[in-house]
């Protein structure tokens, strides 16, 4: 049920803003905004020699910066899509951004097949009456077969 709710919410918001589209009116106060970095893939365990392959845990992570004079509760939504645009992973992380502070947040993903993937993330205020707090950001990564040491992280 949780996955269905997340998928529905992600679809509604993603269709309304599109990738890389600036979102007008995210915050009513122009001085108060939340910034988001592109999602990056970080190895959780040692992955010799510096390549990304299947069957290893990775952290899909973003950095959020609160440019507001008040705390901001948030829900960061993360999606991983394969080369065909099929959602392979979907989850969220809820937390609070401190006043004028930053937070690094992310979720674990275990790729099970080699290929090209799109990491996507955006932030909303809550699930009961969601307000979009950031634009949708994305980053492409290549996951290699096990034992293939050619490539980059």
- What digits encode the pLDDT tens for the residues 18-34? 433 334 334 445 678 99
Higher pLDDT, 146 or 141: 141
- CA 54 to CA 43: how far, in whole Å? 12
pLDDT tens, 71-112?
A: 999 999 999 999 999 999 999 999 999 999 999 999 999 999
pLDDT above 60 for 149: no
Each domain of the chain, given as residue ranges in start order, spans: 2-143
Q: Looking at 15-24, 83-92, 117-126, 136-145, which range is the least confident one?
A: 15-24
Q: Which CATH class is domain 2-143?
A: mainly beta
Q: Which residue has the higher pLDDT, 143 or 46?
A: 143
Flag whether the pTM goes above 0.85.
no
Q: How far apart are CA 72 and CA 76, in angstroms?
A: 12
Alpha carbons 39 and 53: distance in angstroms, whole number: 18
In 10 A of CB 54, how many CB atoms? 15
Structure tokens at 88: 């392979």
Query: What distance in Å separates the CA atoms of residue 101 and residue 146, rounded to the nearest whole number?
Result: 39
Asked if 118 and 88 touch (Cβ cutoff 8 Å), the reply is no
The DSSP H or E segment spanning 37 is none
> Are β-strands 58-66 and 102-109 bridged in parallel, bridged antiparallel, or unpaired?
antiparallel
- C-beta separation of 152 from 50 below 8 A: yes
């Amino acid at each position: 049920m949780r996955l269905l709710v997340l998928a529905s919410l992600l679809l509604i918001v993603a269709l309304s803003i599109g990738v890389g589209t600036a979102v007008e009116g995210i915050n009513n106060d122009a001085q108060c905004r939340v910034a988001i970095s592109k999602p990056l893939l970080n190895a959780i365990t040692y992955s010799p020699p510096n390549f990304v392959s299947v069957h290893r845990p990775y952290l899909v992570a973003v950095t959020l910066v609160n440019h507001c004079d008040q705390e901001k509760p948030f829900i960061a939504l993360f999606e991983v899509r394969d080369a065909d645009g099929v959602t392979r992973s979907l989850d969220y992380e809820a937390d609070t951004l401190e006043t004028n502070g930053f937070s690094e947040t992310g979720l674990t993903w275990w790729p099970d097949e080699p290929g090209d993937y799109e990491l996507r993330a955006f932030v909303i205020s809550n699930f009961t009456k969601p307000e979009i707090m950031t634009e949708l950001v994305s980053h492409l990564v290549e996951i290699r077969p096990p034992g293939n040491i050619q490539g980059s992280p």
